[in-house]
Structure 1
């Protein structure tokens, strides 16, 4: 388009204001319209885009025809629309006709329905009543079915629970559990006003439960008669049955009693067969080697019987453990059921109450009951052996063997079991027999206590007693005693097997003169100590013997020391100078003493010279009968040392007296040196007595 603003502006300046205003009004309004149109306007942009799509050129012809073309297109479009609406109007007319027909049909059907409704209203009312009654009946049927399912046993379940012809299987246990649950659930029914139904169901269910437990009780009894405990594959139904039956104490206890009686008979019969090769009924079993024929030694005979009892108890315990305890959750269920209902307390220790069920303790007690018959036979045989035995060592070995098995059964069962009490009584009987035989032996050799051997060696009865005691101590040392104080436990044996002989030796020593009495007693004590020393459970007695040995050694040292003083001729000199010290007043007394006078001192010096060459040999000769030469040397050396100490004191006092006399010699003309009369020195004495 040609630029018009500038020419219009120049024209406006040349024309008059009124003409300019009139000429510019239409054009300026259009220009203002165009200029006021924003390109951001959507309609304006669409109009421009439409012009671009038509490819219209900006020419005068195009500008003159554009409005006409656009109006023509609008008119054509409107014509097409009118044609389309004519078709729509025709379709609407047809639809109106169809709707009219449908209204006529609806009205006709409505009339017919109203007539039919009037004709069937009575039947519909009756049908509604019947439907309501049917719903009530269905609700009652559902309630009855729920009641039967939750509170009533079916005919099949009742038969499985109560009829003895039906087997005891999983259905029986499931039905019994259901019946117990029904009985507990009846408490809900008892909460309503009408309690008749709850009471009736509870009474019927309790009756079925009682019949079920009776059936289970009889079934368990039959199973116990045929069960093979030697078979490790014991079925789980019997274990399950026992766990369930435990909820009825009387029935369960009765089953245990019958089972214990049956097992007691079986084990008694087995023990009799093991002993003699024949059962209690007299049936011979050639596959068994009888203990009474095979065991030629008394100790082996008793040991074989105890070993059989131990093996039988272990086998019985293992079998019953698999039968009564079971594995896995079954153990926990049994313990929980017993604790909640306080059932297992009937088989607890002494019938006392227990907060928790101890399955191991109950099992051990049942094994103890099963072994009671065999234990009676065992007691008879062992008591017979103990009473007929006449050997002291064998009696103690029997007691030791019984102690070993007593401790073994204490660990296997319990210290309170009847079998352990039986072995305790047998052990006490064996020890009484041992003490009786030991006392009889002491009484038999009383005559030997009067004859002391000439060489002062230990008497024969003491050596024999120590030999027997050594055998007993070796037996005790190899035993597996559980005592924490073995010395205290073995002390009664020493009292019976050792003390009478040691006391007899001590009494024999009293009839001897010194030093023979001490030498004889030392020989006996040393021999006894050597026999006891190798064993750790006799150390207290060894210490007591050592104390007695030291006492006798001290006596021998004193005797030997006294002998040295007497034989050396220094006894009087040592006795008179001994109380004096190095004080001046004591030294002044020396010269006036009788033993220090020249004749007596010269004689003492001469006796000392005669004594010293053979003094040590004579001392050793006096102790030649002491069997411990090392001890003898020690005694002589200690006695000689004491004598040397005494001599040193004598020498010192004589020298002090000479020194004082030399200081006072100016006052006396008849001074005579004591050392000249008694020239021996303590050094010479020590050399000669070493």
Structure 2
């Protein structure tokens, strides 16, 4: 192909590509085209041949109009900028003129400015000094309101605020002295000390007066604060506490006497003295009333001294309670002593003793052991206990006379039963939970020692076996009586030792009776004297002689109760009967075991010993005891 043909072909291809590009284009994606068409629609309203021919000229004319409008608007902007530039030039000229004038004026007024600056510095210094002076006065002097609060007759919260302020200023003066202002600090400290002393003196008189009008409950917060401030003056503090205790002591005595004679409001509860015929209730009600009143006084004192942190509050409260409670000692002692010395039963007297002991321990914990009320209760407790012991001694002395003749069945005599019944009644009055309570042990000794002596004297007239059984029955009854009460271990051990001695005696008598009835005496004697040749050749140890013992042993095994002493059946304690039987049978079993071993010993020349003595010692023990002997 020629070059011309190739060029024509390339042009045709380009045209095709352009046509295809135009056909493939999307007007909705071409923003510029859309904007141009939108603008065209504003003036191209009719689509005809004439309009299309004039379109180009219209577009060019519209463009020319737009440029003319822009030029007109820009001309106005330029004119405004020229006006502004002219104004700026004028202002610059004016500023330069003013600067020249100012420099000239400054040069003329330099001295005046220096004087003005100096005066301003002095003014600032004076203002600072004034502020410092005001701050100093606020920090180290009392305000008029605070001075009025310290001098007013009535004590209020403002008074304590002012007093606290005095203490704070006095403390701050120490720091002031360290800064080199010793003279001012000392003057201020003297002034504050004077204020403080005067305030504490007024506070002391107010608190002393206020203590005389306190009713329980009624400790005000102001009084509590007053005591916290007065603790710095121990003498004044002690005077106020004494005044409080004196007032509360008289109040406690008054309400105690009212409870005794008048009773509660409207007669409920009834007066305590209405129960004077019942000693136990009468004393219990009096002590219970005090036990209720003392804790209330304790709570009031704790509130009274709540703000005190420079003293031992616990010790101070105990001392105050001791002082307050001493007032009721005399009326309480008079009434309790009247009851103790009157003719009342031993049981009622022991009830009173227990009540006095219980409340003595209770008040000791609340008041302390050195309080007047505690000491008074201890004295009354000891007086009541001694009176009880004296009356009980006289009563026991009369009763032991009926212990002289033991009954025929060897049971404890009626006098023993009576005294032990009395002892049970006394010990059951009140549970004893404190080993320091001495009178339960004294009461037991007061009853048991004369009773044991009388029982031993009456038993000495009996035969050995009867005496052992009678004493065992009496001792068993005493042990049974004491076993239910605390702190009786030592006494029970003594009684058990006496029981063991009588059991040994009765066991010996029972064993001796069994040995005699079984003809074991000669056999036992020969067994103890071995070494004189074969036992089968010794008279009394031949098989024919031993058959008599073995027959009796078989009868005893089948019916052991036939050889039991009749006195053993009189024992009240089943354990005693069993123990006597067991020990006495163990003696027989021990002798039988020794005999069995000797018969089976070849050196003793017994023929066919297994057929001769068939039962082994274990079999005999099992048959008689049912257990292996120890």
Q: Could you tell me the TM-score, scaled by structure 2's length?
A: 0.70
User: 1:320: which partner in 2?
Assistant: 301
Which of residues 129, 134, 145 is equivalent to 1:145?
134
Question: Corresponding residue for 2:221?
Answer: 236
Q: C-alpha offsets along residues 242-296 of structure 1, whole Å, 9 cap, x if unaligned?
A: 22232322222211110011000110111122223399xxxx9966632122242
Match of 1:590 in 2: 538
The residue number in structure 2 matching 1:465 is 419
The verdict on how the C-alpha distance between 1:661 and 1:303 changes in structure 2, with shifts beyond 3 A counting, is: closer
Q: Which of the residues 440, 443, 457 maps onto 2:394?
A: 440
Question: CA 1:378–1:100 in structure 2 vs 1: closer, same or farther (change >3 Å)?
Answer: closer
TM superposition shift of 1:530: 2.0
2:528 pairs with 572, 579, 586, which one?
A: 579
**Aligned 8 A contact 1:487 1:537 in 2:** no
Cα distance between partner residues in 1 of 2:527 and 2:445: 46
Q: 2:199 aligns with which of 201, 212, 221?
A: 212
Which residue of the partner structure matches residue 670 of structure 1?
Answer: none
Evaluate the alpha carbon distance shift between residue 561 and residue 172 of structure 1 in structure 2; reply closer, same or farther with a 3 A threshold: same
1:378 to 324, 328, 332: 332
The answer for the alignment partner of 2:566 in structure 1 is 621
Q: Paired residues, what number?
A: 541
Select which of 159, 174, 179 maps to 2:161. 174
The secondary structure found in structure 2 opposite 1:377 is helix
C-alpha deviations, 1:481-508, integer Å up to 9, x for none?
Answer: 3x3x589995444323323312331233
Change (3 A) 1:488 1:547: farther
**What is the DSSP-based 3-state SS (H/G/I as helix, E as strand, rest coil) of the residue aligned with 1:458?**
coil
Q: Distance in 2 between matches of 1:407 and 1:656?
A: 74
CA 1:324–1:650: 2 relative to 1, 3 Å: closer
Partner of 2:54: none
Cα separation, 2, equivalents of 1:214 and 1:545: 72
CA displacement 1:505-533 (0-9 Å, x = unmatched): 12332332211111110110111122223
Structure 2 vs 1, CA of residues 686 and 514 (structure 1 numbering), >3 Å: closer, same or farther? farther
Q: Deviations along 1:202-239, whole A, 9 cap, x unmatched?
A: 111111111111111122222222233235xx543232
Q: Structure 2 regions of 5+ residues with no counterpart? A: 1-73
1:40-82, Cα deviation, whole Å (9 max, x unpaired):
xxxxxxxxxxxxxxxxxxxxxxxxxxxxxxxxxxxxxxxx99x
Task: Report the 3-state secondary structure (helix = DSSP H, G, I; strand = E; otherwise coil) of the residue aligned with 2:428.
Answer: helix
- Distance between the aligned counterparts of 1:154 and 1:199, measured in 2? 20
> What is the CA RMSD across the aligned residues, in angstroms?
5.2
- Provide the C-alpha distance between the structure 1 equivalents of 2:624 and 2:102, rounded to a whole number of angstroms: 166
Q: Aligned partners of 2:91, 2:279: CA distance in 1, in Å? A: 133
Q: 1:515 to 1:207 in 2, by over 3 A?
A: same
**Does the Cα contact within 8 Å between 1:439 and 1:496 map onto a contact in 2?**
yes
For the pair 1:258 / 2:212, whether they are aligned, the reply is no
Moved more, 468-477 or 632-641: 632-641
Describe the shift of the 1:194–1:653 C-alpha distance in structure 2 as closer, same or farther (beyond 3 A).
closer
Mapping of 1:477-556 within 5 angstroms?
Answer: 477=431, 479=432, 481=433, 483=434, 490-535=440-485, 537-539=487-489, 541-556=491-506
Superposed, which structure 2 residues align to 1:21-420 within 5 Å? 138-161=127-150, 163-165=151-153, 167-191=154-178, 195-230=182-217, 234-277=219-262, 289-325=270-306, 334=307, 338=309, 343-344=310-311, 348=312, 359-388=313-342, 391-414=345-368, 417-420=371-374
Are the aligned partners of 1:580 and 1:586 in contact in 2 as well (CA < 8 Å)?
no
Report the equivalent of 1:27. none
Q: Compared with structure 1, are the counterparts of its residues 92 and 524 closer, same or farther at alpha carbon in structure 2 (3 Å cutoff)?
A: closer
| Whole-angstrom distance in 2 between the partners of 1:515 and 1:277 | 67
Aligned residue for 1:457, secondary structure, equals coil
Task: State whether residues 403 and 416 of structure 2, in contact with CA within 8 Å, keep that contact through their aligned partners in structure 1.
Answer: no
1:176, CA displacement in angstroms? 0.6
TM-score by length of 1: 0.64
Secondary structure at the counterpart of residue 205 of structure 1? helix
Kindly indicate whether the alpha-carbon contact (under 8 Å) linking 1:389 and 1:395 is maintained by their aligned counterparts in 2.
no
Distance across 2 between alignment mates of 1:455 and 1:285: 64
Q: Residues 403 and 424 of structure 1 are in contact (CA less than 8 Å); yes or no, is this contact kept in structure 2?
A: yes
Q: Aligned to 2:212, what secondary structure does the other structure show?
A: helix
Query: CA-to-partner distance for each residue in 1:283-325, whole Å, 9 max, x for gaps?
Result: x996663212224211111111110010111222233344433
Structure 1 residue 361 displacement after superposition: 5.0
Question: Residue 150 of structure 1: CA displacement?
Answer: 1.6
Q: Could you say if the C-alpha distance between residues 94 and 196 of structure 1 is closer, same or farther in structure 2, counting changes exceeding 3 Å?
A: closer
Distance 1:129 1:235 in 2: 61
Distance 2:198 2:187 in 1: 17
What's 1:668 paired with?
Answer: none
Q: Contact (CA 8 Å) 1:580, 1:587: kept in 2 or not?
A: no
Secondary structure of the equivalent of 1:168?
coil
CA contact 1:573–1:596 (8 Å) conserved in 2: no
Give 3-state SS (helix, strand or coil) of 2:421's partner.
helix
1:183 is paired with a residue of what secondary structure? helix
Match of 1:54 in 2: none
Q: CA deviation at 1:168?
A: 1.6
Q: Is the 8 A contact 1:390 1:437 kept in 2?
A: no
CA distance in 1, matches of 2:99, 2:581: 156
Quick check: 1:276–1:291 contact (8 Å CA) kept in 2? yes
Question: What is the CA–CA distance in structure 1 between the aligned matches of 2:579 and 2:92, rounded to whole Å?
Answer: 154
Change (3 A) 1:632 1:188: closer
Provide the C-alpha distance between the structure 2 equivalents of 1:136 and 1:288, rounded to a whole number of angstroms: 80
